[in-house]
Amino acid sequence: MKEYLLEKKVWTENDFEKMGWHDCNIYGLIFQNTNTDNKYTTDLIFDIDYIFKWVSPIPPKLNFSFWVSPCSLIFTDAFALTIDIDRRGGTTDLLEIEDLYLIDKIEQEKNKWIYEWSIDLQEGKINFKSSGFKQIVRQNPIFTESQALTLNQRNGINFDIK
């Protein structure tokens, strides 16, 4: 299969309408404290496999293939966080995103926005507010039969924001 042409390496809330996180897997999340001009904030960072493209099967093949890349999904100045995840069903898989929703967008000051997000998971929900997001593509997409890369393919778990 030929190489996937990546449109850009950094995506933001301005790209939200053309993005989709359905079936993307979460490897972990961290809280990163930042200090800008003596103002302390916390970024919420997810290590995910982002599915850039679903490839329809060509008969006699029955299953989809995917172009997948490890990405750091960073929600800047995150607050009002609630996490409700129930893994009692016995699953040991990664957390899988059902969808990511923009619930509300409010102009706090002139050209300064607060976004309210909901990440629906197969196993629960994560809700929070932030001043926006950046999704950083850490390596070019890989063509695979799976929606999740192996740790070797994605160079381990990583929260790199560069």
Which one, of 2, 43, 3, lies nearest residue 141 by Cα? 3
Backbone angles phi, psi at 42, to 5 degrees: -125, 130
Kindly report, residue by residue over 21-71, the tens digit of the pLDDT.
999 999 999 999 988 788 889 999 999 999 999 999 988 888 999 999 999
Spatial neighbors of 37 by CB under 8 A, at least 6 apart, are: none
Asked whether the beta carbons of 52 and 140 are under 8 A apart, the reply is no
pLDDT in tens, 73-130: 999 999 999 999 988 776 667 899 999 999 999 999 898 999 999 999 998 999 999 9
pTM: 0.92
Cβ pair 100, 125 in contact under 8 A = no
Dihedral sign for Cα atoms in the order 48, 117, 14, 41 = negative
Distance between CA 74 and CA 146 in Å, rounded?
Answer: 24
**Bridge partners, residue 55, by sequence:** 65
